[in-house]
Amino acid sequence: MKYTHIRCVIIFLGDNMEIMKFVLGDYRSNCYIVHENKKAFIIDPGYESFEVVDYIKKENLEIEGIYLTHGHPDHVGGVKQIKELTGATVYAPIKDEIWLGTSPYNQIQYVIPVDVWVKDLDVVHFLGLDFKVYETPGHSEGGTVLYSNELMFSGDTLFFESIGRTDLPFSNPIVIQHSLRRLFELFNDETLVYPGHGKPTTIGHEKQFNPFIRR
Angstrom CA distances, 35 to 11, 107, 139, 160, 176, stand at 12, 30, 28, 24, 31
Quote the radius of gyration of the chain (alpha carbons, Å). Answer: 16
3-state secondary structure of 203: helix
Q: pLDDT digits over 41-89, tens only?
A: 999 999 999 999 999 999 999 999 999 999 999 999 999 999 999 999 9
Q: What is the H or E stretch that residue 124 is in?
A: strand 123-126
Among residues 38, 29, 36, the alpha carbon closest in space to that of 4 is found at 29
With cut-offs at 50, 70 and 90, classify the pLDDT of residue 9: very low
Residue 143 has a pLDDT of: 98
Please tell me whether residue 63 adopts helix, strand or coil conformation: strand
Is the pLDDT reported for residue 207 higher than 90?
yes
* 153-203 per-position pLDDT tens digit: 999 999 999 999 999 999 999 999 999 999 999 999 999 999 999 999 999
- How confident is the model at residue 5, as a pLDDT? 56
Please answer whether residues 33 and 51 qualify as being in contact, where contact means their C-beta atoms are separated by less than 8 angstroms: no
In this predicted model, what pLDDT tens digit does every residue of 97-154 receive, in sequence order? 999 999 999 999 899 999 999 999 999 999 999 999 999 999 999 999 999 999 999 9
Contacts within 8 Å (CB) and 24+ apart, 116-121: 116/89, 116/90, 116/91, 116/92, 117/91, 117/92, 117/93, 118/91, 118/92, 118/93, 118/94, 118/144, 119/93, 119/94, 119/95, 120/144
Residue 3 has pLDDT above 80, yes or no: no
Residue 168 has what pLDDT? 97
Stated pTM of the model: 0.94
